[in-house]
Structure 1
Amino acid sequence: MELFIAAAHYGSFAAAADTKFVTPNAVSSAVTELETIFNTQLFIRRRAKGLITTTAGHDLVVHTERLLAQAEELTLLIGNRDDTPRGPVKIGCYATLAATIIPELWARTTQQLPHITLDIEEGPVEQLSQKLLEGRLDMMISYQIGLPTGVISDELFHASPHVSLPENHPLANQHSVALKALEDEPLILLDLPPAGDNTLRLLHGQGLHPNVIHRSTSYETVRSMVARGFGYSLFFQATHTELSHEGLRIVDLAIDPPLATEPVVLSRDLEAHATHRADAVRELVITMFTASAPDGPERRH
């Protein structure tokens, strides 16, 4: 089953063989045997494109990964008489949030759950959500917007949108800025899904027609473009530094009138059985943000 999972993840028998230290023929034989057992095709084999997982193959991947995780959990529990959480926990994190959340989470996990190993994956919400529902992540941290159905979420905190301007911008000395005042100016858009669509939806909801001159999936690239004076941007996540990577100053201003905040949530698969170690990490994440605030309600999507 592990050879089948590897083939599905890497899209070729050769790549799967390299990761499992076996021959490609061994992987191919294992897959063929499974197809015989289940009497169905698990992969479409194409020389130019490698392996394409069929619907049946995809379903088998999802259920097999869950079973393997449960088997691993059982092994850990049997050999863990003191009930100490131990083993790997896979967490997805929306890329722009990772820099301000993951280091603190890593430090707390090291101190409070020393037998747990974190496996962090950063990316856009759609990619992380798919892996969560396929059982390839235990949980994910992201904005609430863009989450699919079938997940349950714990609210961690609310992020307030703000405008970022170059230091020499005529409005940079103000305490706040109206979005209308920036409508005709060039917008450098953070376009890591769903951020780009969310920003445009927000601006259009204010009756504005932004002048987007550049899109980037990199938070730091957008900040550097702003610092250079090429335009302004709008972010939900805060940063503790006023400088771009080039050492140029960026000014963050509140929006007047204030816009609605966006919840940041910790999500997990509604139907998945959480492991003991995943539950321990989930509680740790929640306490990071609720030490001075009441617990947020669980939300189903």
Structure 2
Amino acid sequence: MSRQPDVTLTQLRYFVEAASALSMTKAAEELRVAQSAVSAAIAQLERQVGTALFIRRHARGLVLTAAGEELLRDARGLLAHVGEVLDAARGRGDEVRGHIKLAFMITLVPFVLPDLLAELGANYPELEVEVLELEAGAVSDALRSGTVEAAVTYDLGLGPGVAREVIAEVPPYVILPPGHRLADQPEVRLGELVGEPMVLLDLPHSRDYFRDVVATSGTPPWIAYRSSSVEAVRGMVARGLGYSLLNQRPVLNGTYNGGHVEARPIADDVPALSVVVAWMESIRRSARARAVTDTVREVVQRLRSATWGGRPTPP
């Protein structure tokens, strides 16, 4: 029987910190230990594993090898699980405390994040929340790499192996320039916009979703302008450069450039987007993650009618 590597939790913690910072020096500063201790622990870990985990570049930091990337993903999950086991042994398994790192879909950030952080801070003062604002594809990558414990996002591009809880269904709506010929209608049919220029919210996965929604009219969209910024899209519509589709809806119709847009529901039966909290199926959810999920659900359901006019999620 082959001998198992004698790897310690300290070695794994030092490795994760160095891999996250891509620097032994920064890892030592964060851990408040000597750099020599970090270097020695990682060198010993590499000997135990039997392969290099980093490419050392003098004065230019570290680069993870393929083995290092794989170990980083698993080590993060292992250390998180150890923390949960120890909390349970101390009778603190249900306490919401410590540090949690979340990925947030960038278009949801201004609508959900402020209230989420305020409520988590009020209800769980011992919980430290770190947020990465990412596009849809990067959200999936962050979950799979173990960079984040959970994600608040649309159900776009998450792929297999990702568990999710649907918080709300958010239908798309049309925004029109002021004075548009359809602005007096309470609802707009997509067929009425055929032949008009569209300003596309150009983000991975989102762009395909909006194209597919418009294509339900039987005619693909004429995309005249595009931007990865929701507010830039709204500003271009306000200046009469075209119409657009969005899901997240501000309470006010004003734009950053001093204009305004007219928001109208879509009369056609078009697919909504699901707002979800997501996590890896292979990772046991911590009390921290469960608290975040519960709070996100409360925040989104409260904001849904005020901002999106979305449909509630069935219990």
TM-score where L is the length of structure 2: 0.81
| CA–CA distance in structure 1, aligned partners of residues 214 and 94 of structure 2 | 51
- Quick one: distance in 1 between partners of 2:125 and 2:88? 16
- The correspondence for 2:229, drawn from 218, 225, 232, is 218
Unmatched runs of 5 consecutive residues or more in structure 2: 1-11, 303-310
Q: Percent identity?
A: 32
Tell me the SS of whatever aligns to 2:264: strand
In structure 1, the residue matched to 2:291 is 280
Structure 1 residues 79-228: aligned runs within 5 Å: 83-228=94-239
Question: How many angstroms apart in 2 are the aligned matches of 1:144 and 1:248?
Answer: 31
**Residue 246 (1) aligns with residue 237 (2):** no
Q: Using a 3 Å threshold, how does the CA distance of structure 1 residues 50 and 183 change in structure 2: closer, same or farther?
A: farther
Compared with structure 1, are the counterparts of its residues 81 and 40 closer, same or farther at alpha carbon in structure 2 (3 Å cutoff)?
closer
Q: 1:205 to 1:17 in 2, by over 3 A?
A: farther
The amino acid across from 1:200 in the alignment is R
Question: What is the RMSD of the two structures over their aligned residues, measured on CA atoms?
Answer: 2.9
Match of 1:54 in 2: 65
Does the C-alpha gap of structure 1 residues 269 and 81 become closer, same or farther in structure 2, counting only changes over 3 Å?
closer
In 2, the alpha carbon distance for the partners of 1:20 and 1:48 equals: 20
Structure 1: give runs of 5+ residues left out of the alignment.
297-301
Contact 2:176 2:244 in 1 (8 A): yes
Contact preservation (8 Å) 2:84, 2:93: no
Map Cα deviations across residues 78-119 of structure 1 (whole Å, 9 max, x no partner). 667695321222222211112111222223223332322222
The 1:30/1:144 distance shift into structure 2, 3 A limit, reads same
- Matched AA of 1:279: R
Deviation string for 1:224-251 (max 9, x for gaps)? 1211222221112222110001221111
Q: CA deviation at 1:48?
A: 10
How far apart, CA to CA, are the structure 2 residues paired with 1:19 and 1:97? Answer: 30
- Amino acid corresponding to residue 223 of structure 2 in structure 1: V
Q: Would the aligned equivalents of 1:92 and 1:121 in 2 still touch at CA under 8 Å? A: yes
Q: Is the 8 A contact 1:154 1:286 kept in 2?
A: no
Aligned to 1:231: 242
Structure 1 residue 138, shift from structure 2 partner: 2.1
C-alpha offsets along residues 16-54 of structure 1, whole Å, 9 cap, x if unaligned?
566556787765554433222211122345679864433
How far, CA to CA, are the matches of 2:115 and 2:91 in structure 1? 27
Deviation, structure 1 residue 159: 0.7
Q: 1-side partners of 2:51 and 2:233: how far apart?
A: 48
| Aligned amino acid, residue 94 of structure 1 | M
Amino acid at match of 2:125: P
Q: One-letter code of the match for 1:183? A: V
Aligned mates of 1:201, 1:47 — CA distance in 2: 49
Q: Return closer, same or farther for 1:278/1:40 CA change in 2, 3 Å cut-off.
A: same
